[in-house]
Amino acid sequence: MTYSTDISGLGADHHWKFDGNSNDSIGSANGTDTSMLYTSSAIAEDATNCAETNAVGDRVSIPTTTDINNSAQARKAVAGWFMATAIQNPPKNIYGEGDASQAFRFILGWGNNLVFEVDDPSFTLQIFGDTALEVNRPYHLCMIFEGNGYGNELRAYLDGVEQTSAEPADRQPDATTLTARSVPEFGDPAGTVAVGGTAVILIAPINGKWNHWATWDGVDAVLTDMEVKETLFEKGALPDITISNSTESAMQTALDVYSSTVRDNAPLCIRIEDCTEGNFSLELDNITFNTLASIHIQYTGNDTLTLINKNGSDCSKTSVTGGGTIVLKTRTTLTITAKDVTDNSVIIGARVYIEADSGGDLTSGTEIMNTTTNGSGIATVSFDYTSSQPIIGRIRQGTSSTYYKNGIISGPITLSGLTQTVLLIPDE
Amino acid sequence: MAIVDDFSVTAGGNIRHDSGSTNYTVLELHRWLQDLADDASAVGNDIIDITSGTPSERSTDNIITLNSPYNIDDIAAEYLYDGSITQGGGDIVYSGLVVVGSLYGTTTLQIVQNNLLYDTDAPFWGTGINVDAANNILSRMLVKTRDAGADVDGKRIRIYAREWGETFAEFSVTMGLGNSTAAIFTNEDLNNQTASGTVATWSTITNVEGYQGIDVDGDSTVEYYYSQWNRATYTINQLYERCKYITRRGTAETIHTMDGELFRGITAQWDYDNEATGPYVEDETLSWGSGTTAGTGILLALDDNGVTGTVWIQLLTGVNPTDGLQITGGTSSCTADVNGSITTRSLPSVFLGQSTGSALIGGFGIGVEAADLTNSDKLFDLTNTQRVPPNNVTFYVYGLISGDRVLVTNDSGGIDTTQMTLSTALSGATETAIVVNSIPTDTAQTGTLRVVLDDGRHRYIAYTSWTGSTFTIGSSDWTDPDDAAISQGVYIGYIDKATATTQESFTVVYNADRTLFVRVRDGGGTPIKTFETTGSLGTAGGSTTAIRTSDE
């Protein structure tokens, strides 16, 4: 299923793919371009190119349409992909409907900070993005309006994450509808518009890029958080790296190429396709991710992919788009030292045993560690941590003198593993 | 073979002995279990490894606890020694027993617990198990002393050595954790040399059980005992052997309704009052108390005085009662309260007492028919007073035939007619007493006298008793001419009769050697010349044999 199909599957009324033109692939509100370019690479899935503005007056105008702008709307949603190629100096219009009096607008403000705004004679609502848009990094934007006959709120999303810093803070329009507005425009508005209820002149981003913008009206406009995140954002995000479908071993080899790297701020860092062998595991060997990256790893298959962070890897944001599951683990080390309580000497050859207790991810009784201490009295084992794991652990040395009484290892196993010195009491 | 070959452990914690005859210390058991418990995974039939709960704990090398569900059974316990095993959260304890000492010959020690033989007449330890001769250790084994959460008779046991032909011995011990020690010493019993099969035929040796009055010391007053043994035709030492036979290891005999192997004798006595629904019945089991004051005993002798009395018992289980505790009869349902303190009694190794080979030193309360005793024997009555039988000596005159007239008197060169002299004249028509100057102490309580009358005749008179200087006679006429004045002679006719048999005898209590004058005459169908001689009555009695010289 293509990304375009996913969008239409959510009941969008209009969809401008911007893959070579500004045609409406669902409705008939084809856009009119003013100096738009379609030569740059797409910034989202299911497109080859994107719409681009490189001059202040560039725009795509959408014909006035009842279910977009030309009516009072009790429920409305607009979403799409946008990227700026530079920090914008004056504020820019990403998408907007209306003028200085009533508007529905995505604004790129100073320092590339986002403002999601609706204006009406009876209210002005602004939601502020929590992250300045990094240049040359695509973002998915979404804004949803519900009048007080429905949810009575304005919601805004950045890469599928709801933005909640708003003015007023309650984000409530307290009005039945959003008054009809003037035509929708991508880029430079033809007329005067408003920001915060105050008339300003907005122009097109330089450069600004767009893919896959869609509008909803009515019940379909009330998109859920999950629909915004998992369908509109995650399914449209382009990966920096793709680990293609193959055997587990081959996919591991492919992934190991990126060991000891730091992945950039991106909507999607690594996409992992399905494995030919069903459920599979891959280790991330010292792969770290920019904290602003929206998805670290995405799995597109329908099996279970176990991802193991090791050697400092910090993958934490995952996405599944094919019905499968990602089990995220962190490889930790369990280090148990056995010593004699009387003289603190190390105990060699003691049996160290740890099993899972109830209350964790592992089935109670699952053996975690069953080995003996080495010449330094130490026994270690690797453990792939998912969540805090209660344990039952013990140490015994009853085969040869010096004999010891049973020692207890206490848990749980945490993200940092388990390091413990157990003092054993001689049993002779 | 090693312990791993002889024992196995199931997944459920059952530690069982599978094969072999080797015994192991409790510490070896613990070490073996711990050795298994640090294995990566279980192998074979020993299902313990690192994944298992800790099977055992060692408090000391001799005190081991098995953590639930690990457990041994009674069979497995037979192959363990030198310490204790506690299991089931403390509900079951096998205590370690060490028997030290020395035994004569091949001896099978017995253990009595809760008035029962532990593991029957043929116990698993046989004639000795886990012996350490260098340290005088006769046997070491485990004894179950707590079961199902309750101590077995307060963890008390008694070890017996009752082997035929050897001295008997016993030792009482209260067991606990670790090892408890008992000491047993036996030797050859030189007074028990008869084959047991022979002693088995001595069934005419009998006993009257219960409270018995016997005048053992011949003072005309009975003392009381809890038995009255009759040795029949057997010697006093044979009586001793018979009593050993009844109580030896493996006996099938019973005494006081008990298995002879369990019989010991009187261990305690007390006075009682407030008797109700009485009386008690001898040989019934008495019971008292509860918990730590509980006990049972078999009633061996009863002196019942209505609502009060005295009982003598052998303690069977528990502890002796205390003042005020109510005692209940198991058969009679009689109840009474202990009145005063309990008196405990020490036991001889053989309940009858000690044999010197020819005499008996009786155990407390043991009674024997007076006629079966000699002056060498010593008995102790139920007041624990020593009673010594008088030295009864017998003088025999043999060689008689029916119709002979036999006269035996004190000798003074012939008949000692002035053995005694009258202090009071005999002249009345109804004299009932003969008072003399002094009656010899070895004079029999009943017998005959000759009184020298004033006219010279020697009058025959029987007496029924004497005391001091007075003989008691039946009322008789001593008027003239059958009178006798003061200072007339009186002498004892030790034998003064016409015999109807071939021997005559008399028995007196020996005081000092006495020379006797013996005369035998027969003037009948086969007359003989008068036979006269002297004889000596000593500490062993005496005898003489008439020489029959025909007078035809």
Q: What is the DSSP letter of A230?
A: I
Chain B positions in Cβ-Cβ contact with residue A366 (cut-off 8 Å): none
- Distance from the Cα of A416 to chain B's closest Cα (Å) equals 25
How do B80-81 and B309-318 pair as beta strands? unpaired
ipTM attached to this prediction: 0.72
Q: Residue B76's closest CA among B16, B142, B6?
A: B16
CB contact (8 A) between residue B37 and residue A406: yes
Mutate which: A403, A404, A408, vs B, most B CBs within 10 A: A403
Residue type at B325 in one-letter notation = L
Contact B38 A370 (CB under 8 A): no
Contacts of A406 in chain B (CB under 8 A): 37, 54
Query: Has this prediction a pTM greater than 0.80?
Result: no
For residue A355, the chain B residues in CB contact (below 8 A) are 51
What is the distance between the alpha carbons of residues B215 and B71, in angstroms, rounded to a whole number?
61
Predicted pLDDT at A135: 96
* pLDDT in the model for residue B547: 95
Q: What is the pLDDT of residue A198?
A: 82
Going residue by residue through chain A, which has 428 residues, state the pLDDT in tens, using 9 for 90 and above. 799 999 999 999 999 999 999 999 999 999 999 999 999 999 999 999 999 999 999 999 999 999 999 999 999 999 999 999 999 988 899 999 998 888 999 999 889 999 999 999 888 999 999 999 999 999 999 999 999 999 999 999 999 999 999 999 999 999 999 999 999 999 999 988 888 878 888 999 999 999 999 999 999 999 999 999 999 999 999 999 999 999 999 999 999 999 999 999 999 999 999 999 999 999 999 999 999 999 999 999 999 999 999 999 999 999 999 999 999 999 999 999 999 999 999 999 999 999 999 999 999 999 999 999 999 999 999 999 999 999 999 999 999 989 999 999 999 999 899 999 999 999 99
Q: Nearest residue of B to residue A393 by CA position?
A: B51
For residue B279, say if its preceding peptide bond is cis, omega within 30 degrees of 0.
yes
Residues of chain B with Cβ-Cβ distance to A405 below 8 Å are 57-58
The reported pLDDT for the residue numbered A196 is 82
Q: pLDDT under 50 in chain B at which residues?
A: none
Q: How far apart are CA B490 and CA B499, in angstroms?
A: 23
Q: Measure CA of the first residue to CA of the last residue in chain B; give whole Å.
A: 97
Residue of chain B nearest A356, judged by CA positions = B51
- B135 to A285, B100, B126: CA distances (angstroms): 69, 8, 19
CA triplet B524, B525, B529: central angle to 5 degrees? 60
The alpha carbon of residue A351 is apart from the nearest alpha carbon of chain B, in Å, by 5
Mean pLDDT rounded to a whole number for chain B: 95
* Substitution target from A347, A406, A409, A424 for chain B, most B beta carbons within 10 A: A406
The distance of Cα A275 from the centroid of its chain, to the nearest Å, equals: 22
Taking an 8 Å cut-off on Cβ atoms, the answer to whether B58 and A427 are in contact is yes
Residue recorded with tokens 């005993």: B297
A355 and chain B in contact, CB less than 8 A: yes
In 3D space, the residue among A299, A334, A296 whose CA is nearest the CA of residue A317 turns out to be A296
